[in-house]
Amino acid sequence: MRKFTMEEVRRSESSTEFYRSDWAEKNIKIAQYSWSDGPAPFGTSLWPRYYSEVKRHGEAWFRFRNAADMTFEILLDGALEYTQDGISETVHPGELYIMHEGSDITFRADRESYFHRLRLTFYGSMLRNLDQEFGLAGRRVVPLRNAALLSAEFRRMGMLLKEQEAAKGAEISASAYRIIAEVAKECSRPDAFPELLREILGDMKGDLGLRRSIREIAAHHGVEVHTLMRLFRKHLGLSPREYLIQLRMEAAKHLVGSSELSMKEIAGRLGYCNSLYFSTVFHRLFHETPSRYRKRKRRSIGE
């Protein structure tokens, strides 16, 4: 078996990306945009980190070890062969390939190969439950019923990343969620969450700082509170309030560890008007105060 000659490109904690040494120079880049310098301007539960449209002729490979992100790739022309967690599959035009967070993924193309593909990469604390929520776990190759429509959504997201307008932060985060939801629909999994629950979850995740009661959320979606409670208990094993707290605290953990925002500012962004109560909830879930977590996180980065 031929060994890789690896060039390390990016390392994030235990996640590492490797590419063939001539990857960048031999790619025909139609578009490439990212918003990865510093924390995202709007929340951290879900954010599109990177978009690209690339053509390439000839040999190519990359490897994501313990992938830090969820990545979607749509093949427009040619053929691609991926191996994810030991399972090898070939992707054809009009199909989408899902690279799951935490997986070990390898892509190879030989000297006769050609491909034209779109890539969109997401990061954030929300990714950990999206596989469960949308029934994506274990899915890799997804035949698209309307590849042109989803490709247009990818390109639109790319332009938003190119513009980097902080004022569009809410729109970008919500669009990221909608794209993942659309891929889930393409998968047509019978065990995916009901449409109503997906809409409610998207609403909750779209603005974690919105101070609304569970009754107000239920009314907004035209259901009774007991119906909302039953949906959450059945599919998530949590109450709506417990789920919302979980979302906010995962976002809080990221903001505390990666930004210069004060605890008061973070609490306000996540819908807490009392920073002391915010710290109490954080401590209850993570067994340390936000300030202590920030110090420990910075020490580990500096080592």
CA 253 to chain centroid, in Å, comes to 16
> What pLDDT does residue 28 have?
92
**C-beta separation of 204 from 212 below 8 A:** no
Radius of gyration of the chain from its Cα atoms, rounded to whole angstroms = 20
What local confidence, expressed as pLDDT, does residue 254 receive? 77
Average pLDDT, the chain: 82
Residue 176 to residues 88, 156, 207, Cα–Cα distance (Å): 27, 11, 13
Q: What is the pLDDT at residue 7? A: 41
CA 68, CA 223: separation in Å to the nearest integer?
A: 37
* Residue-range domains of the chain with CATH: 7-187 (2.60.120.10), 207-302 (1.10.10.60)
Tokens of 250: 């995962």
Q: What is the pLDDT of residues 31-88, one digit of tens each?
A: 999 886 544 555 567 889 899 999 999 888 889 988 888 999 999 988 888 999 888 8
Of the candidate ranges 75-84, 99-108, 161-170, the one whose mean pLDDT is the lowest: 161-170
| DSSP tag of 216 | H
> CB of 267 within 8 A of CB of 257?
no
Range scoring the smallest mean pLDDT among 110-124, 185-199, 286-300:
185-199
> What is the rounded CA–CA span in Å between residue 138 and residue 51?
23
78, two tokens: 């040619």
